[in-house]
């Protein structure tokens, strides 16, 4: 028999053996496995059970004597340094009218200003596999419209149409914490803390009827209310890692903010203009809200 006839077989056996990942602990225990990722502090790996199922586990690097894995994994096993997040969902502001002294007289359609849509974006530099520093930005919008009922001296009741558009932006520094479940390494729980500034903008359009004995016309006013204040955010998310660099999940955030000073500008018919810088509320306007989000993150 040709002495080289069995060479392909042994080469195949050799490479199959080499392709098997393994971890050797400081206690000299050898664990045949599939290494999923290698961080600065721990190794994530998978063990195949007798029934064909797979169990995910972690081992601290301080307990590892040596390990070997496939060249492809070695190439991609470095820790992801950047984490980009994009969230979107519904928000509610249950404390919005706390600063009104006569909240019972507020028209029902004003309540639409308490519920709106938000979108968040974040970027974090991961110092290790569970802690990162970065920035957060969020945009929140609500709107409403309706008719106020006013009495003219005649007496005649008129409907006064008005529209409101509210925008709240947030920008701040952020800290991100992440934990992986040992039994299910693809499940990630994240917590975020952030401090920054809320930027408030309220636009109002209202049309008043002007009635006297012989003339009726409409008087339109456009007003703009703007202000900013210190704010803080606390967020919790639960995510599932679809791929090595993509995770999706659900999240909830609490945003705190009290607005005490605003600038008012009014423009109306007949070249009417009025402005007041840094007008102070007798009671701070509570802009605190709760965000419910669909969460997506990208790691690279």
Give the containing element (helix H, strand E) for 15.
Answer: helix 7-19
Residues 101, 129 share a domain? yes
Residues 272, 191 share a domain? yes
Q: Is the sign of the CA dihedral 66, 67, 73, 79 positive or negative?
A: negative
Q: In this predicted model, what pLDDT tens digit does every residue of 214-239 receive, in sequence order?
A: 666 677 789 999 999 999 999 999 99
Of 135, 164, 136, 161, the C-alpha closest to 150 is 161
Among 20, 52, 76, the domain boundary falls at: 76
Task: Please report whether residue 202 resides in a domain.
Answer: yes
122 pLDDT exceeds 90?
A: yes
Percent of the chain with pLDDT over 70: 80
**Comparison of pLDDT for 26 and 175, the residue scoring more:** 175
Tokens for 212? 């006297």
Residues 97, 70 share a domain? no
Residue 36, domain extent: 7-76
CATH number at residue 151: 2.40.160.70
Reported as a pLDDT band with limits 50, 70 and 90, residue 97 is: confident
Q: Which of 70-84, 92-106, 124-138, 269-283 has the lowest mean pLDDT?
A: 70-84
Task: Give this prediction's pTM.
Answer: 0.69
CATH number at residue 30: 2.30.30.100
Residues 256, 123 share a domain? yes
Taking phi over 0 as left and psi of -120 to 50 as alpha, with beta for the rest, 36 belongs to alpha
**Tokens 């000299």 belong to residue:** 28
Q: Is the sign of the CA dihedral 241, 292, 225, 200 positive or negative?
A: negative
Work out how many domains the chain is built from and give that number: 2
Q: In this predicted model, what pLDDT tens digit does every residue of 28-81 receive, in sequence order?
A: 888 888 888 887 778 888 888 888 888 888 888 888 888 877 654 444 445 568
201 pLDDT exceeds 70?
A: yes
**Apex 97 CA angle, 92 and 99, nearest 5:** 135
Residues 150, 116 share a domain? yes
Residues 214, 192 share a domain? yes
């Amino acid at each position: 028999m040709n002495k080289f006839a069995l060479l392909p077989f042994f080469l195949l056996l050799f490479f199959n053996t080499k392709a098997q990942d393994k971890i050797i602990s400081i206690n000299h225990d050898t664990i045949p496995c599939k290494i999923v990722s290698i961080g600065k502090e721990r190794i994530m790996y998978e063990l195949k059970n007798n029934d064909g199922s797979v169990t995910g586990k972690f081992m601290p690097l301080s307990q590892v004597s040596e390990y070997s894995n496939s060249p492809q994994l070695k190439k991609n096993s470095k820790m992801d340094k950047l984490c980009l997040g994009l969230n979107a969902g519904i928000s509610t502001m249950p404390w919005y009218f706390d600063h009104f002294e006569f909240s019972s007289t507020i028209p029902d359609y004003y309540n639409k200003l308490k519920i709106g849509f938000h979108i968040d974006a974040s970027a974090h530099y991961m110092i290790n596999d569970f802690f990162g520093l970065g920035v957060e930005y969020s945009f929140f919008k609500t709107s409403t419209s309706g008719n106020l009922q006013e009495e003219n001296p005649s007496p005649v009741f008129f409907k006064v149409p008005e529209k409101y558009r509210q925008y709240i932006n947030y920008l701040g520094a952020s800290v991100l914490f992440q934990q992986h479940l040992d039994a299910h390494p693809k499940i990630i729980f994240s917590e975020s803390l952030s401090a920054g500034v809320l930027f408030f903008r309220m636009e109002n359009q209202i049309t008043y009827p002007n009635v006297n004995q012989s003339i009726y016309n409409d008087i339109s006013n456009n007003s703009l209310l703007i202000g900013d204040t210190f704010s803080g955010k606390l967020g919790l998310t639960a995510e599932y890692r679809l791929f090595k660099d993509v995770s999706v999940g659900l999240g909830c955030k609490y945003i705190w903010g009290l607005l005490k000073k605003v600038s008012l500008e009014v423009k109306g018919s007949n070249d009417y203009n009025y402005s007041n810088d840094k007008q102070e509320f007798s009671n701070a306007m509570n802009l605190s809200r709760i965000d419910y989000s669909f969460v997506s993150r990208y790691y690279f």
